[in-house]
Amino acid sequence: MMTFETVSENKAFGGTQGVYKHSSAETGTEMTFSVFVPDHAEGSKLPVVWYLSGLTCTHANVTEKGEFRAACAEHGVIFVAPDTSPRGDDVPDAPDEYDFGKGAGFYVDATEAPWSENYRMRSYIESELPGVIAANFPVDMDRQGITGHSMGGHGALTIALRNPDRFKAVSAFAPIVAPSQVPWGEKALGRYLGSDRAAWAEYDAVALIEGGARVPDLLVDQGTADNFLEEQLQTHRLVKACEDAGIDATIRMQDGYDHSYYFISTFMADHIAWHAERLKA
Protein backbone atom coordinates (compact mmCIF):
# COMPACT_ATOMS: atom_id res chain seq x y z
CA MET A 1 0.00 0.00 0.00
CA MET A 2 3.08 2.27 -0.07
CA THR A 3 3.12 2.35 -3.88
CA PHE A 4 1.37 4.80 -6.18
CA GLU A 5 0.81 5.66 -9.85
CA THR A 6 2.17 8.83 -11.40
CA VAL A 7 -0.55 10.87 -13.10
CA SER A 8 1.69 13.77 -14.14
CA GLU A 9 5.00 15.43 -13.31
CA ASN A 10 6.10 18.90 -14.39
CA LYS A 11 9.19 20.96 -13.67
CA ALA A 12 8.39 24.14 -11.72
CA PHE A 13 10.68 26.63 -9.95
CA GLY A 14 13.54 24.16 -10.34
CA GLY A 15 11.63 21.38 -8.60
CA THR A 16 8.97 18.84 -9.55
CA GLN A 17 5.21 19.26 -9.27
CA GLY A 18 3.62 15.84 -9.36
CA VAL A 19 0.11 14.41 -9.19
CA TYR A 20 -0.26 10.81 -8.06
CA LYS A 21 -2.94 8.27 -7.16
CA HIS A 22 -3.07 5.10 -5.11
CA SER A 23 -5.48 2.58 -3.65
CA SER A 24 -6.38 3.56 -0.09
CA ALA A 25 -7.06 0.90 2.50
CA GLU A 26 -8.67 3.48 4.78
CA THR A 27 -11.23 4.86 2.33
CA GLY A 28 -11.56 1.74 0.19
CA THR A 29 -11.16 3.92 -2.89
CA GLU A 30 -8.56 5.30 -5.22
CA MET A 31 -7.18 8.58 -3.84
CA THR A 32 -5.36 11.33 -5.70
CA PHE A 33 -2.82 13.72 -4.18
CA SER A 34 -0.25 16.24 -5.36
CA VAL A 35 3.33 16.78 -4.16
CA PHE A 36 5.76 19.59 -4.94
CA VAL A 37 9.39 18.69 -4.26
CA PRO A 38 11.83 21.61 -4.60
CA ASP A 39 15.33 21.20 -5.96
CA HIS A 40 17.56 19.76 -3.25
CA ALA A 41 20.90 18.09 -2.65
CA GLU A 42 20.96 14.38 -3.37
CA GLY A 43 20.27 12.36 -0.25
CA SER A 44 18.92 15.27 1.76
CA LYS A 45 15.60 15.21 3.60
CA LEU A 46 13.26 18.21 3.52
CA PRO A 47 10.52 19.49 5.82
CA VAL A 48 6.95 19.03 4.62
CA VAL A 49 3.82 21.17 4.80
CA TRP A 50 0.47 19.43 4.40
CA TYR A 51 -2.34 21.47 2.84
CA LEU A 52 -5.98 20.45 3.38
CA SER A 53 -8.51 21.88 0.95
CA GLY A 54 -12.04 23.12 1.61
CA LEU A 55 -15.59 22.21 0.70
CA THR A 56 -16.17 21.08 -2.92
CA CYS A 57 -12.41 21.03 -3.61
CA THR A 58 -9.92 18.37 -4.65
CA HIS A 59 -6.11 18.36 -4.64
CA ALA A 60 -6.27 20.38 -7.86
CA ASN A 61 -7.58 23.66 -6.46
CA VAL A 62 -4.50 24.60 -4.49
CA THR A 63 -2.15 22.88 -6.93
CA GLU A 64 -3.38 25.05 -9.78
CA LYS A 65 -4.25 28.28 -7.93
CA GLY A 66 -2.41 28.31 -4.60
CA GLU A 67 0.84 29.93 -5.82
CA PHE A 68 2.96 28.09 -3.25
CA ARG A 69 5.79 26.73 -5.40
CA ALA A 70 8.05 29.80 -5.47
CA ALA A 71 7.95 30.06 -1.67
CA CYS A 72 8.49 26.32 -1.23
CA ALA A 73 11.46 26.45 -3.58
CA GLU A 74 12.91 29.43 -1.71
CA HIS A 75 12.60 27.78 1.70
CA GLY A 76 13.23 24.16 0.68
CA VAL A 77 9.82 22.83 1.75
CA ILE A 78 7.86 19.92 0.27
CA PHE A 79 4.14 20.66 -0.20
CA VAL A 80 1.56 17.83 -0.10
CA ALA A 81 -2.08 18.36 -1.08
CA PRO A 82 -4.46 15.40 -0.66
CA ASP A 83 -8.09 15.22 -1.73
CA THR A 84 -10.87 16.25 0.65
CA SER A 85 -12.95 13.08 0.49
CA PRO A 86 -13.26 9.58 -0.94
CA ARG A 87 -14.43 9.40 -4.55
CA GLY A 88 -16.00 6.74 -6.72
CA ASP A 89 -19.31 5.48 -8.06
CA ASP A 90 -19.85 3.20 -5.06
CA VAL A 91 -19.08 5.87 -2.45
CA PRO A 92 -22.16 7.21 -0.62
CA ASP A 93 -22.97 10.78 -1.56
CA ALA A 94 -25.53 13.54 -1.16
CA PRO A 95 -25.53 14.82 -4.74
CA ASP A 96 -27.92 17.70 -4.08
CA GLU A 97 -25.91 18.97 -1.08
CA TYR A 98 -22.62 20.72 -1.83
CA ASP A 99 -21.68 20.76 1.86
CA PHE A 100 -22.02 17.04 2.54
CA GLY A 101 -20.75 13.81 0.98
CA LYS A 102 -18.14 13.80 -1.78
CA GLY A 103 -16.06 16.96 -1.51
CA ALA A 104 -17.14 17.47 2.09
CA GLY A 105 -15.36 14.82 4.14
CA PHE A 106 -14.57 17.24 7.01
CA TYR A 107 -11.45 15.17 7.83
CA VAL A 108 -13.36 12.88 10.18
CA ASP A 109 -13.55 9.13 10.61
CA ALA A 110 -17.29 8.65 10.18
CA THR A 111 -19.04 6.27 12.55
CA GLU A 112 -22.55 6.34 11.10
CA ALA A 113 -23.85 4.25 8.19
CA PRO A 114 -23.54 4.49 5.26
CA TRP A 115 -20.64 6.94 5.62
CA SER A 116 -18.43 4.91 7.96
CA GLU A 117 -17.12 2.49 5.33
CA ASN A 118 -15.42 5.11 3.13
CA TYR A 119 -15.35 8.44 4.96
CA ARG A 120 -12.18 7.88 6.97
CA MET A 121 -10.28 11.01 6.07
CA ARG A 122 -8.84 11.48 9.55
CA SER A 123 -7.03 8.14 9.42
CA TYR A 124 -6.11 8.68 5.79
CA ILE A 125 -4.45 12.04 6.51
CA GLU A 126 -2.98 11.19 9.90
CA SER A 127 -1.75 7.67 9.15
CA GLU A 128 -2.03 6.17 5.68
CA LEU A 129 -0.94 8.95 3.33
CA PRO A 130 2.05 9.93 5.52
CA GLY A 131 3.31 6.37 5.12
CA VAL A 132 3.08 6.66 1.33
CA ILE A 133 4.83 10.04 1.36
CA ALA A 134 7.60 8.89 3.72
CA ALA A 135 8.28 5.80 1.60
CA ASN A 136 8.51 7.63 -1.72
CA PHE A 137 9.63 11.22 -1.22
CA PRO A 138 12.65 12.88 0.49
CA VAL A 139 10.67 13.99 3.53
CA ASP A 140 12.01 14.54 7.04
CA MET A 141 9.00 13.27 9.00
CA ASP A 142 10.33 14.93 12.14
CA ARG A 143 9.67 18.31 10.51
CA GLN A 144 6.01 18.48 9.56
CA GLY A 145 3.65 21.44 9.38
CA ILE A 146 0.00 21.57 8.40
CA THR A 147 -2.28 24.22 6.94
CA GLY A 148 -5.59 24.38 5.10
CA HIS A 149 -8.51 26.46 3.90
CA SER A 150 -12.05 26.65 5.28
CA MET A 151 -13.09 23.02 5.94
CA GLY A 152 -9.42 22.22 5.43
CA GLY A 153 -8.48 24.92 7.93
CA HIS A 154 -10.74 23.11 10.39
CA GLY A 155 -8.91 19.91 9.53
CA ALA A 156 -5.47 21.47 9.93
CA LEU A 157 -6.23 23.02 13.30
CA THR A 158 -7.86 19.91 14.77
CA ILE A 159 -5.20 17.52 13.47
CA ALA A 160 -2.42 19.72 14.86
CA LEU A 161 -4.17 20.07 18.21
CA ARG A 162 -4.61 16.30 18.45
CA ASN A 163 -1.00 15.64 17.39
CA PRO A 164 1.14 18.46 18.85
CA ASP A 165 4.29 16.34 19.01
CA ARG A 166 4.09 15.52 15.32
CA PHE A 167 3.22 18.88 13.78
CA LYS A 168 5.73 21.59 14.60
CA ALA A 169 3.74 24.35 12.88
CA VAL A 170 0.08 25.00 12.09
CA SER A 171 -1.71 27.69 10.14
CA ALA A 172 -5.02 28.16 8.37
CA PHE A 173 -6.84 30.30 5.83
CA ALA A 174 -10.43 31.21 6.79
CA PRO A 175 -10.93 28.07 8.92
CA ILE A 176 -14.18 26.77 10.38
CA VAL A 177 -12.99 27.15 13.97
CA ALA A 178 -15.97 25.78 15.90
CA PRO A 179 -17.94 23.41 13.64
CA SER A 180 -20.03 22.15 16.55
CA GLN A 181 -21.60 25.60 16.74
CA VAL A 182 -22.24 26.47 13.08
CA PRO A 183 -24.58 25.08 10.39
CA TRP A 184 -21.92 23.49 8.15
CA GLY A 185 -20.38 21.63 11.06
CA GLU A 186 -23.59 20.65 12.81
CA LYS A 187 -24.84 19.07 9.61
CA ALA A 188 -21.63 17.22 8.80
CA LEU A 189 -20.69 16.09 12.30
CA GLY A 190 -24.25 15.06 13.13
CA ARG A 191 -24.59 12.86 10.06
CA TYR A 192 -21.06 11.45 10.04
CA LEU A 193 -20.73 10.91 13.80
CA GLY A 194 -24.26 10.72 15.19
CA SER A 195 -26.23 12.85 17.62
CA ASP A 196 -23.90 12.57 20.64
CA ARG A 197 -22.23 15.97 20.60
CA ALA A 198 -19.53 14.78 22.98
CA ALA A 199 -18.13 12.74 20.08
CA TRP A 200 -17.84 15.91 18.00
CA ALA A 201 -15.36 17.66 20.30
CA GLU A 202 -12.22 16.06 18.84
CA TYR A 203 -13.17 17.59 15.48
CA ASP A 204 -13.70 21.11 16.83
CA ALA A 205 -10.65 23.36 17.32
CA VAL A 206 -12.28 25.61 19.90
CA ALA A 207 -13.62 22.63 21.86
CA LEU A 208 -10.19 20.95 21.76
CA ILE A 209 -8.50 24.09 23.12
CA GLU A 210 -11.16 24.50 25.79
CA GLY A 211 -10.55 20.85 26.68
CA GLY A 212 -6.83 21.39 27.20
CA ALA A 213 -5.26 20.75 23.78
CA ARG A 214 -2.36 23.06 23.02
CA VAL A 215 0.02 24.13 20.29
CA PRO A 216 2.83 26.65 20.92
CA ASP A 217 1.51 29.11 18.37
CA LEU A 218 -0.59 29.35 15.23
CA LEU A 219 -1.21 31.62 12.26
CA VAL A 220 -4.64 32.35 10.77
CA ASP A 221 -5.56 34.73 7.96
CA GLN A 222 -9.22 35.65 7.55
CA GLY A 223 -10.72 38.06 5.02
CA THR A 224 -13.13 40.70 6.29
CA ALA A 225 -15.19 40.46 3.06
CA ASP A 226 -15.62 36.68 3.40
CA ASN A 227 -19.34 36.02 3.02
CA PHE A 228 -19.07 32.95 5.28
CA LEU A 229 -17.36 34.76 8.15
CA GLU A 230 -20.30 35.63 10.36
CA GLU A 231 -22.41 32.47 10.07
CA GLN A 232 -19.94 29.64 9.41
CA LEU A 233 -16.36 30.62 10.27
CA GLN A 234 -16.76 32.76 13.41
CA THR A 235 -13.08 33.59 13.83
CA HIS A 236 -13.80 35.46 17.06
CA ARG A 237 -14.38 32.14 18.82
CA LEU A 238 -10.82 31.04 18.07
CA VAL A 239 -9.45 34.41 19.16
CA LYS A 240 -11.13 34.06 22.55
CA ALA A 241 -10.19 30.38 22.99
CA CYS A 242 -6.52 31.14 22.29
CA GLU A 243 -6.52 34.17 24.58
CA ASP A 244 -8.08 32.14 27.41
CA ALA A 245 -5.60 29.27 26.86
CA GLY A 246 -2.52 31.46 26.52
CA ILE A 247 -1.77 30.24 22.99
CA ASP A 248 0.38 32.65 20.99
CA ALA A 249 -2.05 33.11 18.11
CA THR A 250 -1.39 35.42 15.18
CA ILE A 251 -4.90 35.91 13.81
CA ARG A 252 -4.97 38.52 11.06
CA MET A 253 -8.18 40.03 9.72
CA GLN A 254 -7.30 40.98 6.14
CA ASP A 255 -9.34 43.95 4.98
CA GLY A 256 -11.43 43.42 1.85
CA TYR A 257 -10.41 39.83 1.12
CA ASP A 258 -13.01 37.15 0.42
CA HIS A 259 -13.03 33.33 0.68
CA SER A 260 -11.42 32.62 -2.69
CA TYR A 261 -8.01 31.52 -3.91
CA TYR A 262 -7.27 35.16 -4.75
CA PHE A 263 -7.15 35.60 -0.96
CA ILE A 264 -5.24 32.37 -0.30
CA SER A 265 -2.61 32.98 -2.97
CA THR A 266 -1.99 36.50 -1.63
CA PHE A 267 -0.88 35.22 1.77
CA MET A 268 0.44 31.76 0.85
CA ALA A 269 4.08 32.86 0.84
CA ASP A 270 3.65 34.24 4.38
CA HIS A 271 2.36 30.87 5.54
CA ILE A 272 5.15 28.91 3.87
CA ALA A 273 7.71 31.21 5.51
CA TRP A 274 5.95 30.78 8.88
CA HIS A 275 6.21 27.02 8.58
CA ALA A 276 9.77 27.06 7.29
CA GLU A 277 10.95 29.08 10.27
CA ARG A 278 9.44 26.55 12.68
CA LEU A 279 10.62 23.52 10.69
CA LYS A 280 14.29 24.39 10.59
CA ALA A 281 16.58 21.43 11.27
Is 271 one of the annotated active-site residues of the chain?
A: no
Q: What pLDDT does residue 258 have? A: 98
Q: What pLDDT does residue 2 have? A: 72
Residue ranges of the domains in the chain? 5-279
Amino acid symbol at 102: K
Active-site position among 34, 53, 85, 150: 150
Concatenated DSSP letters of 152-205: HHHHHHHHHHH-TTTEEEEEEES----GGGSHHHHHHHHHHH-S-GGGGGGG-H
Contact predicate 162/215, CB 8 Å? no
Is 150 one of the annotated active-site residues of the chain?
A: yes
**Cα distance between residue 167 and residue 49, in whole Å:** 9
- Could you tell me the strand order of the sheet in which 78-82 lies? 5-12, 15-23, 30-37, 78-82, 46-52, 139-148, 167-173, 217-223, 248-254
Q: What pLDDT does residue 245 have? A: 98
pTM of the model: 0.97
Taking domain 5-279, whether its CATH number is 3.30.465.10 is answered by no
Q: What pLDDT does residue 188 have? A: 98
Active-site position among 83, 93, 109, 226: 226
Which residues in the chain come in under a pLDDT of 70? 1
Q: What pLDDT does residue 3 have? A: 82
Is 260 one of the annotated active-site residues of the chain?
A: no
Q: What pLDDT does residue 40 have? A: 97
Q: What pLDDT does residue 249 have? A: 98
